[in-house]
């Protein structure tokens, strides 16, 4: 049993929506309001077409929505009624002013804190779900204390470790739940309240409690370590290409060492997603801020290597196609930053497509889940004009269509359906030599070569 009866979550995004849906599904006695200032997003959460695509999410939402799970723009009322308030707003990299390009932009966190202060009418537990720089809880506490007369607040840190595409299974059976709180009797009581919420379905030994700063920092460090593994194997992929080694074989060989482990060693066109780059840059900024330039430089190299990997891939396409792609059609398969999501934030595909469009290529693109409007907006964001998009980009309804009359085909997202395409038809419809650039190492390379394709894969000498 828990003393928490009503939960409010500020921010109905990729984290707030699925996380709260799982809490509601597992805790039928708690009412959960998921709030957002974005009306179309809330409308989508209340419709049959959820704004976030995640395998299994529709069922979890359908099971609880309207019973103890509500999506609403009534942020103020929900705050007032809640005992516990999750803050799950975005914390993007700052694009202006001090720390631009590295520091986290905390404007949404601050606006959420001010909303809580204005509408709180009694004791509240505030939970940082967003990923934030270490010591943000202090800033939240200060804003609350200065702007509210009748609130007693406890601020907790409870970072989210779900990965997109597997959000439901990650939430259902997390490796661990991390809760940081102030080491005082009131802080301990607040931590215990949140522990009891999760204990409805997560074994107690998987619920770790720490001080606030350890919890805040651990989230940045976890993402930095995961991304570092990818940059490490990607760095080795370049060496494999030069030496005749096969990066997948190397990954298997080193990953069998239990000290290294097999996960997150898949070489690729580069990692994407809304978290890795942002959180490493945030960590780098913190290190610099605290006078640790060597530590900052060490972690920054994970991002530098990733940028190089993306650039290396587009350069490889241009070089292979006889140093010119101008006016040539390139079939691009996949635009999402990984399979099983409609999210494209920081997707490697954005940068590869940008480079190819700037080289004058015509891109025929297919992704099973990403809408056209998102693709256009992402390319606009990296400086590609509508005029160039209208002239050089075609969005296709199938992978086979995207490869028609193409000089080259590039796989940028590892969607399962790309593994079993009708490669005979694709070959027949392409210009020869028919080049394939597998940025995810998912295609049957030997089979393709036997059919006549010229195959380039990541890290295959």
Q: What is the distance between the alpha carbons of residues 38 and 348, in angstroms, rounded to a whole number?
A: 27
Taking the least distance from each CB to ligand UDX, the nearer of 313 and 337 is 337
Could you tell me which residues come within 8 angstroms of residue 77 by beta carbon, excluding any fewer than 6 positions away? 119
- Main-chain phi, psi angles of 241, to 5 degrees: -60, -30
Site for ligand NAD (CB under 6 A): which residue of 7, 22, 34, 35?
A: 35
- Least distance from ligand NAD to the Cβ atom of residue 50, Å: 12
CA atoms within 13 A on the CB side of 220: 23
Could you tell me which residues come within 8 angstroms of residue 284 by beta carbon, excluding any fewer than 6 positions away? 102, 296, 299, 300, 303
- Least distance from ligand UDX to the Cβ atom of residue 436, Å: 19
- Residue 345, marked binder: yes
- Least distance from ligand UDX to the Cβ atom of residue 248, Å: 11
| DSSP result, 196-221 | HHHTTTS-GGGEEEEEHHHHHHHHHH
Restricting to residues 105-134, which ones interact with ligand NAD according to CB under 6 A?
108, 111-112, 115, 130-131
Could you tell me which residues come within 8 angstroms of residue 416 by beta carbon, excluding any fewer than 6 positions away? 339
Site for ligand NAD (CB under 6 A): which residue of 5, 28, 38, 122?
A: 38
- Least distance from ligand NAD to the Cβ atom of residue 160, Å: 4
Please give the order of strands across the beta sheet that includes 454-457.
393-395, 362-366, 329-333, 408-411, 435-438, 454-457
- Residue 267, marked binder: yes
Rg (CA), the chain: 24
- Residue 1, marked binder: no
The answer to whether the peptide bond before residue 433 is cis (omega within 30 degrees of 0) is yes
Query: 275, 287, 353, 396: which one is catalytic?
Result: 275
Active site residue 240: no
- Residue 113, marked binder: no
Q: What is the distance between the alpha carbons of residues 32 and 402, in angstroms, rounded to a whole number?
A: 43
Taking the least distance from each CB to ligand UDX, the nearer of 264 and 308 is 264
Is 415 a residue that touches ligand UDX (CB under 6 A)? no
Taking the least distance from each CB to ligand NAD, the nearer of 174 and 408 is 174
Restricting to residues 81-100, which ones interact with ligand NAD according to CB under 6 A?
88-91
Q: What is the distance between the alpha carbons of residues 201 and 43, in angstroms, rounded to a whole number?
A: 29
Judged by beta carbon distances under 5 to 8 A according to partner kind, the member of ligand UDX, ligand NAD, none in contact with residue 12 is ligand NAD
- Least distance from ligand UDX to the Cβ atom of residue 338, Å: 4
Judged by beta carbon distances under 5 to 8 A according to partner kind, the member of ligand UDX, ligand NAD, none in contact with residue 264 is ligand UDX
Is 14 a residue that touches ligand NAD (CB under 6 A)? yes
Taking the least distance from each CB to ligand NAD, the nearer of 39 and 258 is 39
On whether the CB atoms of residues 410 and 403 are closer than 8 A, the answer is no
Other beta carbons within 10 angstroms of residue 354's beta carbon come to: 19
* Three-class secondary structure of residue 296 per DSSP: helix
- Least distance from ligand NAD to the Cβ atom of residue 274, Å: 5
SS3 per-residue string spanning 255-268: HCCCCCCCCCCCCC
220 is written with which tokens?
A: 């940045």
Which residues, in sequence order, are bridge partners of residue 7?
32, 84
Is 160 a residue that touches ligand UDX (CB under 6 A)? yes
On whether the CB atoms of residues 400 and 424 are closer than 8 A, the answer is no
Taking the least distance from each CB to ligand NAD, the nearer of 73 and 429 is 73
On whether the CB atoms of residues 299 and 287 are closer than 8 A, the answer is yes
Other beta carbons within 10 angstroms of residue 200's beta carbon come to: 15
Residue nearest to ligand UDX (CB): 273
Site for ligand UDX (CB under 6 A): which residue of 272, 331, 368, 459?
A: 272
On whether the CB atoms of residues 80 and 150 are closer than 8 A, the answer is no
- Least distance from ligand NAD to the Cβ atom of residue 434, Å: 36
Other beta carbons within 10 angstroms of residue 74's beta carbon come to: 14
Site string for ligand UDX, 317-346 (x = CB under 6 A): --------------------xx--------
Which residues are part of a known binding site for substrate?
160-164, 219-223, 259, 266-272, 337-338, 440
Active-site positions read 275
Interaction site with ligand UDX (CB under 6 A): 160-164, 223, 226, 230, 264-266, 268, 271-273, 275-276, 337-338
Binding residues are: 11-16, 36, 41, 89-93, 130-131, 160-164, 219-223, 259, 266-272, 275-278, 337-338, 345, 440
Residues forming the site for ligand NAD (CB under 6 A): 10-16, 35-38, 41, 75, 88-91, 108, 111-112, 115, 130-131, 160, 162, 164, 274-275
């Amino acid at each position: 049993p828990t003393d928490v009866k009503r939960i409010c979550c500020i921010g109905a995004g990729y984290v707030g929506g699925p996380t709260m849906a799982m809490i509601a599904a597992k805790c039928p006695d708690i009412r959960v309001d998921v709030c957002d200032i974005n009306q179309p997003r809330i409308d989508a959460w209340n419709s049959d077409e959820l704004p976030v695509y995640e395998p299994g999410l529709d069922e979890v939402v359908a099971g609880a929505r309207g019973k103890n799970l509500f999506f609403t723009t009534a942020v103020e009322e929900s705050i007032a009624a809640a005992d516990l308030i999750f803050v799950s707003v975005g914390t993007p990299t700052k694009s202006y002013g001090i720390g631009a390009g590295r520091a986290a932009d905390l404007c949404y966190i601050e606006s959420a804190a001010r909303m809580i202060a204005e509408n709180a009418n009694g004791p509240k537990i505030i939970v940082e779900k967003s990923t934030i720089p270490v010591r943000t809880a202090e800033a939240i506490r200060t804003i609350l204390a200065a702007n509210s007369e009748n609130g007693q607040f406890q601020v907790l840190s409870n970072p989210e470790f779900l990965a997109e595409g597997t959000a439901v299974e990650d939430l259902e059976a997390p490796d661990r739940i991390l809760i940081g709180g102030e080491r005082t009797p009131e802080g301990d009581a607040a931590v215990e309240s949140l522990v009891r919420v999760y204990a409805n379905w997560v074994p107690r030994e998987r619920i770790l409690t720490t001080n606030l700063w350890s919890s805040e920092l651990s989230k940045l460090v976890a993402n930095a370590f995961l991304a570092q593994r990818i940059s490490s194997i990607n760095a080795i992929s370049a060496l494999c290409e030069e030496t005749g080694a096969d990066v997948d074989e190397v990954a298997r060989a080193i990953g069998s060492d239990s000290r290294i482990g097999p996960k997150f060693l898949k070489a690729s066109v580069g990692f994407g997603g809304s978290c890795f780059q942002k959180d490493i840059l945030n960590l780098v900024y913190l290190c610099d801020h605290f006078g640790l330039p060597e530590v900052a430089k060490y972690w920054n190299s994970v991002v530098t290597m990733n940028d190089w990997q993306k650039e290396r891939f587009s350069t490889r396409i241009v070089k292979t196609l006889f140093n010119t792609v101008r006016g040539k059609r390139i079939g691009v398969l996949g635009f999402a930053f990984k399979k099983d999501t409609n999210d494209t934030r920081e997707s490697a595909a954005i940068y590869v497509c940008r480079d190819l469009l700037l080289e004058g290529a015509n891109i025929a693109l297919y992704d099973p889940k990403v809408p056209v409007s998102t693709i256009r907006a992402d390319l606009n964001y990296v400086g590609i004009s509508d005029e160039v998009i209208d002239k050089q980009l075609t969005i296709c309804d199938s992978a086979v269509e995207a490869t028609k009359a193409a000089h080259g085909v590039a796989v940028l997202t590892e969607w399962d359906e790309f593994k079993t395409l009708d490669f005979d038809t694709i070959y027949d419809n392409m210009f020869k030599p028919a080049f394939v650039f597998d940025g995810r190492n998912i295609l049957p390379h030997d089979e393709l070569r036997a059919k006549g394709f010229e195959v380039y894969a990541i890290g295959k000498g």
